[in-house]
Amino acid sequence: MALDEAILMQVAKEESPPTIRFYAWNAPTISIGYFQRIDRDIDSDKVRAHEFEIVRRMTGGRAVLHDRELTYSVMVPGDHPFAKSSVVESYRLLSLGLRKGFINLGVHAEVVSLAQESERAKFATLGSAACFDSPSWYELVVEGRKIAGSAQVRAHGGLLQHGALLLDLEPDDLFDVLLFRDDRERERIRAEFDVRAASVRQLTGRIVSYEEAAMAFANGFCDGLDAQLIPMNLTDQELAMAHTLLEQKYSQETWTRRR
């Protein structure tokens, strides 16, 4: 999370180019949205029992269990066409690149517009604190099941969108650490979740490696957004800022439990 914000800051100052970053997680981690309250939505004792990590994002949205996935982030400056577009339009444009990435893996995802009332009703939230229960304006779905969860923020004079692209999925772990009013509500939403979300493994019957997925989505962004990607390493300035943000913000309980 610190790296995503650090890159955004450098990109916004045009000291780094518009950037797409792919990464994975070295331990299963719950990320919570900027506006979420841990004490209302997350069972901290269960998080510790599972030995999960927990971090607060600078973007909105609901809780995500990051584990068997490819995570992406896109950072552009304020004068970039994505940043000059509305939030809804920028979601749509970036979804075109994500859709091509899934197609490269053999998953024929569709971009569904929730501007249509019928689609909004179909993907309406089940009422849980889980991200993959919460619809965005332009959903990536396969046979009606959500396969990607994204969140966006405009900050530091630029745009950041990042999200989880599900290579595999174990929803029991996520639902075990979420808080519900009672067990009946947990069981109802958990059962409905299975028909609302899917992973690449479930849809293709095979395990896709991080490396294969990263290449598929890099090519997908090139094709879907008519973009050229140039491989680069993190700059010294990005790394230095990320370390500062890690020490002063993302590792601090005052940030993680601020709401």
Catalytic residues: 131
Q: What is the Cα–Cα distance from 150 to 89, expressed in whole angstroms?
A: 14
Residue with tokens 């598929």: 216
Residue partners of 84: CB distance under 8 A and separation at least 6 = 78
Closest to 232 (Cα-Cα) out of 25, 75, 67, 24: 75
Q: How far is CA 64 from CA 98, 186, 226, 231, 235, in A?
A: 18, 16, 30, 28, 28
Q: How would you classify the pairing of strands 29-32 and 53-56? A: parallel
Residue partners of 105: CB distance under 8 A and separation at least 6 = 200, 204, 208, 212, 213, 216
Q: What is the Cα–Cα distance from 243 to 120, expressed in whole angstroms?
A: 40
Sign for the pseudo-dihedral over CA of 173, 174, 178, 181:
negative
Closest to 184 (Cα-Cα) out of 125, 121, 127, 122: 127
Return the number of other C-beta atoms located less than 10 Å from residue 254's C-beta: 8
Quick check: 7 and 238 in contact, CB under 8 A? Answer: yes
